[in-house]
Every structure is written in structure tokens, then in C-alpha cells.
Structure 1
Amino acid sequence: MNGVFPADLAVYLLLAPVVAYIFVTHRWAGFLPWYYLSVFCLARIVGGILGICDSESLAANIIQSVGILQLILGVDGLVHEAYVHTELVEWFKQLIDILLQGAVVALLFIGIRVMYSLVAVCTQRRDISPVYGKTDIRVTLMFLPEVLATLAMIIVGLRTRKLRETKSIATYSQTPQNC
């Protein structure tokens, strides 16, 4: 049995409730990154279940390969969220910096994962294949970068979960008061 599928299932089953909490707390103010991160976790859970049943399953391996797209879209959502909030007061800029720093950290780990896939496809070597390769290579270059990118986004989400309330306070403080 392939050891990456059970690890995917275990890790993303633990992270999915935290991502759901972030998704609920951000609501529409930060819909894009947390929606895509939720879809990514769900895809990893489904891929893990299919892979545990049959590690040679074509469906499980396709979900493993294509699932990185949702993580990339989630990082794009972080950058978009930072862009949307740039016009607010100066003390609010710290939250924007947190969003952008989280996007950079997540992109670093996503880049490692994408480069691994590119090298595996271009060389066609079986020992580094994302499907049939050695488990230690797959864990180091596929599983861990995805988990670390997800954790980086989760940390950003938890640190900015009060963004909506902060935005409404900042907008309220900028409007002229009629006394």
C-alpha cells in the first residue's frame, strides 16, 4: 500500500475543520482563498480514501495530481484579499502584510511541489514518479510542501479571521460623524 494516501487522509481530516472555521469566520469578505482551500482539503480527503482502497487507482492519482490547482487558486485569493483591503487606514496595513507574507510562504512550498512534478514528467524516471516513485521522495517533495503551504494559509486565516469586523470599524472611523 502507498503510504502517502493514508497520510493525506489523516492530515487533511485534521485540517478540514480548521479550514471550515476560517471559511465561516471570513464569510464573504475573504471568500476566495478559504473556499479554494476547503475544496483542496476535500479533494485530498477523497483522494486519500480512494488511494487507501486501491493505491494503483487512476482516480486517486489524478486527484493527487490535479489537486494542487485549488491550492494555487487559494494563494491567488489571498493576494486578491490583500489587494481589496489596501485602501483602508494605516494600522490596517499590518493585516495586509500578513496576507501577502502568507501568500509568499505558501507559493514557495507550492513551487517546490510543482518543480517536483515538472522534473518527474520531463525525466520519465520511475523512481521519482508521483504515482510509482519511492515513498520518501514523494513524501518530501509532494506531501510535505502541500501540507506546509496549507498550514501557512491556515495560520494567515486564523490571524486575519477578524478582518471583517476590523474593516467595518475602519470604514466607520473614516466616515464623518454627525453630532
Structure 2
Amino acid sequence: MTLIAFNKPYDVLSQFTDRGSATTRPALSAFIDLPGVYPAGRLDRDSEGLLLLTDDGRLQARIADPKFKLPKTYLVQIEREPDSVALAALRTGVALNDGTTRPAEVERIDPPALWPRNPPIRVRASIPDCWLRLTIREGRNRQVRRMTAAVGHGTLRLVRWRIGEWSLDGLAPGEWRAV
């Protein structure tokens, strides 16, 4: 069985080829040359961080399927400082157009020591930002971004740091290691 942890850079697709696009976008094949491994779940093109890939179908399902409730931890840079009401809403579940989310673990954190993003996030002098550590146990499409927006805070940067027991620790963008 092969399992690798990959630090997916911003603007890279979570698949090995770019299908259906008029212009070619960077994909996993530009970084990973291992036959037979496939992503266990997805990470949006405009998100960064941990993506697990495996050649084991059962493990892939256990990682990706929300019924196993594997915790996924994100470092999230949002617009403005959230108040206690916004944080409480994230902790109890947020109403989205596809139903209410499961409760999340959330805490404000100091800005993490991350690599610079290319391109950098938009910075507006008149609007402060804040970092959160947010852990969810489901995996809806663009869920974290939709959750922060639902409580009034747009996401500026989203980095998945951990999936279950596996972490991004020590991996630079575009690097991978066997785990």
C-alpha cells in the first residue's frame, strides 16, 4: 500500500490532468510521478495544503467519505475579526443552502508561519484580517469558505493542515513524502 502526503500549491488542480479546459492549468502530474496513486478527497484549486494520495481503494474511501467523520483541520485567513456570535455559530453548525453543517472546532490563532502565497492575497488597508484554526468532520463542496461567508467573514486564504493523523508539517508547497 502506498500513501503519500502532498502540499498542494495554490492554483493546482487536485487531479492528474486538466480535462475540459481551454487553457491548461497545473495539475498533480506536474509534481507527482507515481503510478497508481489517486487523491483521497479533493482540495479546491484556490486552496492550499495537505492532499493525501493512495493506491488503496479502501483507504481512499475511509479518508474521503464523510461517513467516517475523519477530522480535517484548516488554517483560515478571514476578513475582519469575528465576534463571539460568529464563532459560536461555527461551533454549533452553520445553515448553508445544502443544509446545516456539523459543529466545527474553531479558535482564533496568531498568524501562522506559512510560505508566501503566489499570487499574494488581496490586502485592503481599511479591512483587518484574522486567522482561525477550523476543524470539520464532513467535506461538502467549498464548505469552509461557505461557512465563514455565512457568518459574515470572507475567506482570504485557506490551507488544509491536517487530515486525521496526517499533517503537512515539514512539507513545502509542491513537495510530497510517503507516510
TM range (shorter): under 0.3
Which structure has more RCO (C-alpha within 8 Å, separation ≥ 6)?
Answer: 2
Q: Which has the higher helix share?
A: 1
Higher-Rg member (1/2): 1
Q: Which has the higher strand share?
A: 2
Structure 1 length as normaliser, TM-score?
0.26
